[in-house]
């Protein structure tokens, strides 16, 4: 990564699922099992990417003076695994220097810290995988703090409605808290005329009563998207 950030980094990053989340429920219905999910990952990513694009367009007025960055626009490498993507997003979100990145990468290669057989295994238990994610974040923050490096992190992190269902998004939010990045959450007003045509049409899981993340509110119908600090 050889990205040079502007001195005053006015950038919004949207955090949410790419391989999981509400879109996964469209393709992974009974009698399909978690073992079948690997076959559907490309479709889920494509669906989630479309949802990111729609929401980013609808929220542009909120962040007109900021650069909006979506996760599927970053680090798209065919030969990458989960460990590669998480490291890349970690460096990008925190805005650390290339010197730190290079030194930390060398450090990771000399230490057996992360169990990659778990980290990169999409079918491993979710909480077990997150333990490995957390190890990466912890050792990164320890290394960063010990060496007193400078950073230029994002201005804001905006969470998609189903961000809690994504291990990657959980990781990003922990990272944001560590770097004191302001975090916000998106909510939709089901009474707005564009909810059915622009949002629920692409993301039908938002209308289900069994959905675990109630990101749909009943407002006065004048504003499709509401953004709240978390």
Q: Is the pLDDT of residue 31 over 90?
A: no
- Average pLDDT value for the chain: 87
Average pLDDT over every residue of 49-78? 88
Dig out the tokens for 213 from the structure: 């993340």
Q: Note down the domain range covering 38.
A: 11-229
- Kindly tell me if the per-residue pLDDT of 3 is higher than 80: no
Q: Is residue 90 situated within a structural domain?
A: yes
Residue 57 belongs to some domain of the structure: yes
- Mean per-residue pLDDT for 194-202? 88
Question: In which band, very low, low, confident or very high, does the pLDDT at 126 lie, cut at 50, 70 and 90?
Answer: very high
pLDDT for residue 8: 77
79 found inside a domain: yes
Q: How far apart are CA 132 and CA 116, in angstroms?
A: 8
Residue 23 lies in a domain: yes
Determine the angle formed by the axes of helices 98-110 and 126-147, rounding to 10 degrees: 120
Which three-class secondary structure state does DSSP give residue 195?
helix
Q: Is position 6 within any domain?
A: no
Which residues touch 210 (CB under 8 Å, ≥6 apart)?
none
Give the pLDDT score at 131.
Answer: 97
CB atoms within 10 A of CB 142: 10
In angstroms, the CA 217 to CA 96 distance is 37
CA angle in degrees (0–180, nearest 5) for 225-226-229: 140
Is position 62 within any domain? yes
176 in a domain, yes or no? yes
Burial class (CB in 10 A: 0-12, 13-18, 19+), 209: exposed
User: Are the C-beta atoms of residues 13 and 154 closer than 8 Å to each other?
Assistant: yes
Task: Give how many domains the chain has, as a whole number.
Answer: 1
Confidence of residue 209 (pLDDT cuts 50, 70, 90): very low
The string of pLDDT tens digits covering residues 135-151 is: 999 999 999 988 777 89
Q: How far apart are CA 75 and CA 97, in angstroms?
A: 17
Please indicate, yes or no, if residue 5 is contained in any of the structural domains: no
Instruction: Determine the pLDDT at residue 2.
Output: 47
Contact between residue 215 and residue 224 where contact means Cβ atoms under 8 Å apart: no
Global pTM value: 0.89
For residue 52, is pLDDT > 80?
yes
């Amino acid at each position: 990564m050889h990205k040079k950030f502007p001195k005053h980094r006015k950038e919004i990053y949207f955090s949410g699922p790419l391989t999981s989340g509400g879109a996964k429920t469209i393709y992974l219905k009974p009698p399909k099992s978690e073992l079948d999910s690997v076959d559907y990952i490309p479709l889920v990513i494509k669906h989630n990417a479309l949802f990111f694009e729609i929401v980013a367009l609808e929220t542009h007025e909120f962040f007109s003076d900021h650069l909006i960055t979506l996760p599927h626009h970053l680090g798209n490498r065919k030969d990458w695994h989960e460990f590669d993507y998480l490291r890349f997003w970690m460096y990008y979100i925190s805005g650390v220097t290339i010197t730190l990145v290079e030194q930390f990468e060398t450090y990771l290669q000399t230490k057996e810290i992360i169990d990659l057989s778990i980290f990169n295994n999409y079918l491993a238990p979710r909480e077990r995988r997150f333990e490995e994610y957390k190890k990466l974040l912890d050792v990164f923050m320890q290394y960063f703090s010990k060496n007193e490096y400078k950073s230029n992190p994002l201005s804001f992190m905006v969470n998609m409605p189903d961000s809690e269902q994504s291990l990657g998004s959980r990781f990003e939010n922990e990272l944001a808290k560590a770097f004191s990045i302001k975090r916000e959450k998106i909510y939709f007003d089901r009474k707005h005329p564009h909810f059915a045509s622009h949002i629920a049409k692409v993301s039908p899981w938002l209308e289900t009563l069994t959905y675990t993340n109630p990101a749909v509110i009943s407002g006065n119908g004048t504003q499709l998207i509401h953004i709240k600090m978390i």
